[in-house]
Amino acid sequence: MRKHVYFDVFVGPGWPVPSELERYFLGPVGQRWTFFRSRNDCWGLSAEGVDGTDHLPRHQGRIDLHLTMLGNADHGVLLNYAKRGGERLEHYYSRGDLRRLQEWMWSRHGSLVPIGLFIPFERAWLAVKEFLQTDGALPQSITWIAGDDLPADAFPDPTAHRDLGE
């Protein structure tokens, strides 16, 4: 399995140890998820060739996984866990207040994301730490919602919603 990180100053092969990421989630309010250099709000951990498929090419049986994290000072962190390859497709989102699925915020990359999938920083940290400690297993420390269980308009086309303002 080949691991990769894209998270603030941690960019490249391998994954950081949990203690290196903890401050981004558990630091003092106002200092969490603060990336002064990049001004980015989306980060991730990935692995290629999980479940013993590292010898297989992409799209030919290799299984890859991604944990994408979108942070916001007001709403917390939206986690997206995706494991795909071969016949497999697992796609989950952190389950926040689902009554707010039709309320959106703009990411710094110009995407509209539902506020109802954000969870508090402290809970997101539990999941990220578990992901790191279990070599990429779907964390059981939070509640997830399958991507197929979300309404079709949970992630609207941003070009059709400029009226929501950025």
Q: Is 80 exceeded by the pLDDT of residue 165?
A: no
Provide CB contacts within 8 A for 35, sequence distance 6+.
Answer: 8, 41
Query: Comparing 43-57, 110-124, 130-144, 151-165, which segment has the lowest mean pLDDT?
Result: 151-165
Q: What are the sequence ranges of the domains in the chain?
A: 2-164
Of 43 and 86, the structure prediction assigns the larger pLDDT to: 43
| Alpha carbon distance 7, 24 (integer Å) | 10
Mean pLDDT of the chain: 90
Mean pLDDT of 122-141: 97
| Alpha carbon distance 73, 121 (integer Å) | 9
| Alpha carbon distance 19, 86 (integer Å) | 34
Question: Which runs of consecutive H residues, i.e. helices, occur in the chain?
Answer: 18-26, 121-133
Residue 52 has a CB neighbour count (10 Å cut-off) of 9
Mean pLDDT of 4-12: 93
Mean pLDDT of 24-36: 79
C-alpha distances out from residue 109 to 40, 106, 112, 132, 158, Å: 8, 8, 9, 26, 11
pLDDT score at 148:
94
pLDDT score at 126:
98
Q: Is 80 exceeded by the pLDDT of residue 1?
A: yes
- Are the CB atoms for 39 and 108 separated by under 8 Å? yes
Of 95 and 157, the structure prediction assigns the larger pLDDT to: 95
| Alpha carbon distance 15, 158 (integer Å) | 32
The number of C-alpha atoms within 13 Å of 85 and in the hemisphere containing its C-beta is 21
Query: Comparing 76-80, 109-113, 115-119, which segment has the lowest mean pLDDT?
Result: 109-113
